[in-house]
């Protein structure tokens, strides 16, 4: 699903939403290809909210730093209004490069800065 295909009525504001336990790593173990992952948790108002990470556009000038947007999307249906933690995850196959740092944004404000670990 691209950010253009998400309907406006389904997108929730992420400003001030608590997050925790962010971790990012370059998986450089065999077999190839190498891959990259970011994972963290976001507190949401009901279990029907998806926490999604998308590459920010434009990406910026430093290819070692990945910029991601956090987007919260309410799934259709009736959900119990129970505050819960949901997982946000981003995965990418690496081609001849790795990331050193990840910055996650909510509505153009940086909310998380993660140092990327290399796993051999």
The residue extents of the domains of the chain are 9-119
Find the distance separating the first CA and the last CA of the chain, reported in whole Å: 31
Report residue 42 CA to chain centroid gap.
10
- The arithmetic mean of pLDDT across residues 97-120, rounded, is 96
pLDDT of residue 96: 86
Q: Is 102 exposed, middle or buried (0-12, 13-18, 19+ CB in 10 A)?
A: buried
Instruction: Record the pTM.
Output: 0.89
pLDDT digits (tens, 9 = 90+) for 17-74: 999 999 999 999 999 999 999 999 999 999 999 999 999 999 999 999 999 999 999 9
Which residues lie closer than 8 Å to 81 by C-beta, 6 or more apart? 45, 46
pLDDT of residue 8: 46
Q: Is the pLDDT of residue 102 over 90?
A: yes
């Amino acid at each position: 699903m691209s950010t253009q295909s998400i309907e406006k009525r389904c997108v929730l504001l992420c400003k001030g939403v608590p997050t925790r336990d962010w971790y990012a790593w370059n998986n450089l173990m065999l077999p190839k290809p190498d891959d990259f992952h970011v994972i963290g948790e976001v507190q949401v108002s009901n279990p029907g909210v998806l926490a999604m990470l998308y590459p920010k556009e434009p990406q910026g000038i430093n290819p070692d730093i990945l910029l991601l947007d956090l987007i919260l999307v309410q799934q259709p249906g009736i959900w119990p209004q129970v505050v819960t933690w949901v997982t946000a995850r981003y995965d990418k196959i690496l081609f001849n490069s790795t990331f050193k740092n990840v910055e996650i944004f909510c509505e153009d404000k940086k909310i998380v800065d993660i140092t990327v670990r290399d796993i051999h």
